[in-house]
Structure 1
Amino acid sequence: MGKTFARIAVAGVAVATVFAGTVSTAQAADTAILASNKVISLPDGRGKMTFIDDGDMFEVCDTKADGHGVEGTVRDNRNTLLTVNDGGDAGCDKAGYNVGNWFSVQMTLTWDGGGGTVYSEWFNE
């Protein structure tokens, strides 16, 4: 009976350790996702848009000298909240918008030369 109890105790500790490790890993991953920057990119290296979580800045970069610029927007489910354009000059353009945690926003990025729009996932802080 003593050996059976010892086996059950060891098995219980092993299960608890695995479960605790899984919970800690999942919580760490969720925290990393919420606190990280978000980036979307246009095909063929034409441009990118980055949400910089520290300071709630949105940066739009035209990364290809092709005579066309790029436009990034931040929107909620009803309105465009911010528009940032870049093209024709050196460097990237950026603007701030307080994302907060009371509703989610989505970034969009388009190339002024045509083609489709790239969308981020919906996010908040």
Structure 2
Amino acid sequence: MMASPASAADKKLSLGAAGYMKFIDKGDIFQVCDTRAEGSGVYGTLWYDSFVTTGGYKRVFNLSDGGDKGCGKKVHDIGNGGHYVMTVCPGRYPTNPWDLEGSCTHSGGFNE
């Protein structure tokens, strides 16, 4: 029996004082927020693997915030199939779902 990924619920990945990436389950809203106005910005990516057709994780979208008022936001309907992973980095976009170079961090896998 194959283990299934965790169900979606609100998720937040923190970069400490630099900012965060957040998923809000109600409305399928993704946010990236830069909470420190030092110029490097915060960059997040949503990845998806269908386990059938994608041949591994593929980038769904990039989202960034450079310290302006508010956060970068995007709505993306996540489904029940496959596996989603959020990755967030200070100063640059992540290069893969498990990017841990610098201060990057990633979520565990999730879906609806």
User: AA paired with 1:105?
Assistant: Y
Counterpart of 1:64 in structure 2 is: 36
CA–CA separation in structure 2 for the residues paired with 1:34 and 1:57: 15
Q: Note if contact 2:24-2:30 (Cα within 8 Å) is conserved in structure 1.
A: yes
Percent of pairs with identical residues: 41
Check if 1:92 corresponds to 2:71: yes
Query: Is the contact made by 2:33 and 2:42 (CA closer than 8 Å) also made in structure 1?
Result: yes
Structure showing greater relative contact order (alpha-carbon pairs closer than 8 Å, 6 or more residues apart): 2
Q: Output the aligned Cα RMSD.
A: 1.8
Unmatched segments (≥5 aa) in structure 2: 1-5, 50-56, 93-100
Aligned residue among 27, 40, 50 for 2:13: 40
Higher helix share: 1
Matched with 1:81 is 60
Q: Which runs of 4+ in 1 moved over 3 A?
A: none
Letter in 2 for 1:80: R
| 1:120 and 2:107 aligned | yes
Structure with the larger strand share: 2
TM (normalized to structure 1)?
Answer: 0.67
What is the distance in 1 between the residues matched to 2:9 and 2:81?
18
From 104, 116, 124, the counterpart of 2:83: 104
**Structure 1 unmatched runs, 5+:** 1-32
State the one-letter code of the partner of 2:60.
L
Aligned residues of 1:82 and 1:97 also touching (Cα < 8 A) = no
Are the aligned partners of 2:28 and 2:75 in contact in 1 as well (CA < 8 Å)? yes
Give the corresponding residue for 1:22. none
Contact 2:8 2:111 in 1 (8 A): no
**Which amino acid in structure 2 is aligned with residue 51 of structure 1?**
F
AA aligned to 1:117 is C
Q: How far apart in 1 are the matches of 2:39 and 2:76?
A: 28
Which of the pair has more CA radius of gyration? 1
